[in-house]
Structure 1
Amino acid sequence: MNLENITLQTIEIVRQAGGFIKQEAAKFDRSQTEYKAANNLVSYVDKETEKMLVAGLRQILPEAGFITEEGTAGEESNPNELYWVIDPLDGTANFIHGLPVYCVSVGLVQNSIPIAGVIYHLGTEELFYGWQGGGAWSSPPAPNGGGTTISPIGGQGATRLKVSAASTLGDSLLATGFPYYKFEKQDRYLKILETLMQRCHGLRRMGAAAIDLAYVAAGRFEAFYEYNLNSWDMAAGALLILEAGGQITDFSGGQNWLFGGDVIAGCAAQTELLEVIQEHWG
């Protein structure tokens, strides 16, 4: 399996899907919002984008299954197989409110291990991509608002990603997400937040976990942590972080982060972050 070629093909499909999202953002009305559950929003843009992605990705790897946020692929994959993990519009609440912090996130997973990933940040037109053994990369927006320029891997215009060299929380800017449903562990989460506020440069809540993870891979955040996540929030971003020299665990320090619902990802400062989380999380 040529993962570099698969990644480049995936980029083109993701760009097309991103074009649709940008087109719809210009005319989207909040009355078109639907609720999957309390505070869990979705729109026709999420669903139609996912259908576009599934159709395109089927052409690349007909043998691969799908795990998708909106369930439009009509099937669930066996985690012991090869499958795409798709979040068609990560940051739906941001999109609905007109806040330009949302993205398309597509990961390719084999035997529960991400092996390729593409994240397209629509607000900045920045593209993050990589594959197992090939590194993690970003391509900047094209000049004069012409969309994202896809440079040859390692070529002019492409930047290889590397996690931050910071080794302590005292030198770190952290990213997290605030719970918007399942509030049973809110008190523990707030204790973690209270401790970290006093021990790092600051905490940021972007509202799109895939973007947070891409920014960790790029060294903009030292680490990211969150609970109540799903595999489609993490698959692509996790691949980028691992290829950028970072590390990932769940809140217990184990490796059940892709399907376990909680994740800590980052550079060497992640070790100290894990200690803080374990102190309060139990």
Structure 2
Amino acid sequence: MIMSIPVPQDAAEPIRPVAVVTGGRQGLGRGAAVHLARKGFDVAIADLPALQDDVAIGELLATLRETGAKAEYYQLDIADLGAHAAFVDQVWADFGRLDCLHNNAGIAARPLVDVLDLEPEAFDRASDINLRGTFFLSQAVAKSMLADPSRLTDGVYRSILFVTSIAAELVSTDRSQYCITKTAVSMASEVFATRLGPEGIHVHEIRPGFMRTEMTASASTAPIDKKMEDGSVPLGRWGSTDDVGQAVATLASGALPYMTGQPLWIAGGLNIAQAT
């Protein structure tokens, strides 16, 4: 069952749902934003750089608008909890609705450090962005969705999506802060799914595998290339921004309506337990 975007009786045009994509300037976030726009969403991009200082943001907005989507950019550090309310209010003011939050923003473990040598500052930074910022922005958006009376009548699918990682389940001792925060976000998706399900708001977790992005390019790819060669990834290739973007758009559109709070692995089969 694929849920269609309803046409109100008093309007000539169908409702265009609005999606917020955090960390949407590049990589997996950019891919998600493009696929959401192609799926019929208007898109609000949130990221760290100032719009006037970054050519990539302007190029992305142009790409999104070419699909017919309304697209706006907002400078936001999700670790700044005090900025969340004003950001959510501004999205509502600019778009008139908010139907999907795609929690993509996050940082990798850089440099790679053995768990016995990890400094508190590195742990706290990962927690502030990957977990704390993501959790409380989701809380703010969820409250705004619940306060919108149109959700009871317009038939538009509403959702909150969390990007975790294969690291939410697969251990890496030199990325301990990343593994721990992503595991916690996985539980957050279950908590929000349980709370919001009765309100008709779906929550989804996406677990990307080995992805070729700007972030993964900042560390050696040799160990992952070896996994491709030895069959650890049955599909035998790196994942792409399109692989994750298509999954995001599928979930946000309501194409899987009887699913909430469950991880969707976009990992080429890496999570399959293989006998040795």
Please, what TM-score do these two structures have when normalized by structure 1? 0.29
Structure with bigger RCO (C-alpha 8 Å, 6+ apart): 2
TM-score (norm 2): 0.29
- The structure number with the bigger radius of gyration is 2
More strand by share: 1
